[in-house]
């Protein structure tokens, strides 16, 4: 076993000349992140099969819409805290975890009241399901959002093993709980309530576990609150844009078409997670490395990631009809939509964004989020107005491509 490890280590070191990166670090961190992503994708796939076979499309569409409302609420949070914590912890300021938890929880109390007030809109229009859904968001989301900061701490320590295992365990518990709920009831209110209760309990338990086992030091970084606030303002536009498609489809076409639309994205989004992990691995390294050296090799590294995404996309386009016929026979209308959407895998790498985060380039991030998300919104609305659901799918892919090109342009200014 030791001989195999030694040979593998030497092989990875030799490959660094071609890949222009620390391949040992990438293999260690990537093993756990990719393993967790594979497990997560498998769990998500099995849960999607359960939803497809046990729930009517209208009920599933309503469930996904409530989760989209939670995403919209996320635009009002301190969404920049995870990146700020990862950066701070990578530099040794581990006390940011606990300080940021309480800061985030206090901030999110405002969101709690906002959601409860917003639920009156749905109650006034006779939609009790969405009204109750918004109340559940207001009660549970502040705790979930604050508790999930433990993952940013582990990323800052480059402890991808612990982070991956906890993430996988959390998703497994939630999936099993939701499956049990689906066997008992088809009421969307109970399904939504089950999701939030399970999510809250697991996140809180894991946050406490990380505190007790990792024993972070008490050092804090004066730059973290500033970076978190600025990044949160920047992220708010992006978070809203990411949920705009679901809101648009639900209100214009209904819950059934929203279910079709979400099944078209389900597998490509899981595959995109494998590519996004590369950016997650890069952030701690970019925080510690020489900026000029990193920038000079960014283009070569990104081209290799683009090629990887293209290969995954082509493979999925070929296999998707067989996958849907076997697993989602109720959603065969999603196949062609899903094939087109898989092109987003080509643009899922986040290396330029990771570089901007690591170097606290706030002005560049403002520019990226403002202009990049304007492009996404224009593509979404324009595509929907011209081609309906097809236009939304194409608009998301084109908008993502524009945003990636803009990110590369901004890295030239560093």
Q: What is the pLDDT of residues 97-122, one digit of tens each?
A: 999 899 999 888 888 888 988 899 99
Confidence of residue 143 (pLDDT cuts 50, 70, 90): very high
Confidence of residue 355 (pLDDT cuts 50, 70, 90): low
pLDDT for the residue numbered 19: 45
pTM exceeds cut of 0.85: no
Per-residue pLDDT averaged across 146-150, rounded?
93
pLDDT for the residue numbered 286: 59
Per-residue pLDDT averaged across 129-133, rounded?
94
| Residue 3 or 213, more confident | 213
DSSP code of residue 344: G
Q: Is the pLDDT of residue 54 over 80?
A: yes
The residue count of the chain comes to: 414
Q: Is the pLDDT of residue 26 over 60?
A: no
Per-residue pLDDT averaged across 175-186, rounded?
95
Neighbours of 120 (CB within 10 A): 12
Alpha-helical segments (H) within 74-222:
81-90, 96-124, 128-147, 149-156, 160-184, 188-214
Cα-based torsion angle of the residue sequence 178, 181, 186, 190 in order, rounded to the nearest 10 degrees: -90
**Lowest mean pLDDT, pick from 35-49, 70-84, 244-258, 310-324:** 35-49
pLDDT for the residue numbered 123: 93
Q: Rounded CA gap, 76 and 239, in Å?
A: 9
Note every long-range contact of 313-318, with CB atoms under 8 Å and residues 24 or more positions apart, other chains counting: 313/342, 313/343, 313/345, 313/346, 316/267, 316/268, 316/271, 316/342, 316/345, 317/342
pLDDT for the residue numbered 284: 55
Distances (CA, A) of 149 to 37, 99, 152, 343: 19, 11, 5, 31
Q: Is the pLDDT of residue 181 over 80?
A: yes
pLDDT for the residue numbered 188: 93
Share of the chain above pLDDT 70, in %: 81
Neighbours of 156 (CB within 10 A): 27
């Amino acid at each position: 076993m030791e001989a195999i490890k030694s040979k593998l280590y030497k092989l990875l070191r030799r490959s660094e000349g071609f890949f222009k990166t620390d391949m040992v670090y990438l293999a260690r961190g990537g093993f756990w992140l990719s393993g967790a992503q594979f497990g997560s994708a498998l769990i998500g796939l099995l849960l999607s099969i359960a939803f497809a076979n046990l729930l009517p499309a209208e009920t599933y569409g309503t469930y996904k819409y409530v989760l989209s409302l939670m995403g919209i609420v996320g635009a009002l949070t301190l969404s920049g805290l995870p990146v700020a914590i990862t950066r701070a912890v990578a530099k040794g300021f581990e006390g940011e975890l606990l300080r940021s938890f309480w800061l985030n929880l206090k901030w999110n109390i405002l969101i709690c009241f906002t959601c409860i007030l917003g639920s009156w809109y749905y109650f006034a229009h006779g939609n009790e399901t969405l009204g109750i859904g918004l109340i559940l968001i207001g009660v549970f989301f502040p705790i979930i959002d604050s508790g999930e900061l433990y993952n940013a701490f582990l990323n800052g320590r480059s402890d991808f093993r612990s982070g991956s295992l906890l993430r996988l365990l959390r998703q497994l518990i939630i999936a099993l709980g939701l499956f049990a709920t689906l066997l008992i009831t088809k009421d969307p209110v109970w399904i939504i309530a089950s999701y939030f209760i399970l999510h809250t309990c697991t996140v809180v338990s894991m946050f406490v576990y990380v505190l007790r086992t990792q024993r972070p030091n008490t050092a804090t970084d004066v730059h973290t609150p500033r970076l978190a606030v600025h990044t949160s303002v920047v992220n708010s536009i992006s978070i809203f844009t990411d949920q705009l498609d679901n809101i648009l489809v639900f209100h214009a076409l209904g819950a059934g078409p929203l279910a079709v639309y979400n099944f078209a994205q389900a597998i490509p989004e899981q595959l995109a997670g494998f590519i996004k992990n590369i950016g997650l691995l890069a952030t701690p390294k970019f925080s510690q490395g020489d900026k000029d050296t990193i920038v000079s090799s960014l283009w070569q590294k990104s081209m290799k990631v683009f090629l990887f995404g293209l290969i995954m996309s082509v493979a999925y386009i070929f296999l998707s009809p067989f996958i849907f016929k076997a697993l989602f026979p109720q959603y065969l209308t999603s196949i062609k939509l899903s094939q087109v959407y898989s092109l987003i895998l080509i643009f899922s790498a986040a290396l330029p964004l990771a570089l901007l985060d690591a170097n606290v380039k706030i002005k560049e991030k403002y520019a990226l989020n403002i202009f990049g998300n304007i492009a996404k919104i224009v593509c979404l609305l324009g595509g929907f107005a011209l081609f309906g659901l097809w236009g939304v799918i194409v608009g998301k892919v084109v908008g993502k491509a524009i945003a990636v090109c803009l990110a590369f342009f901004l890295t030239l200014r560093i």
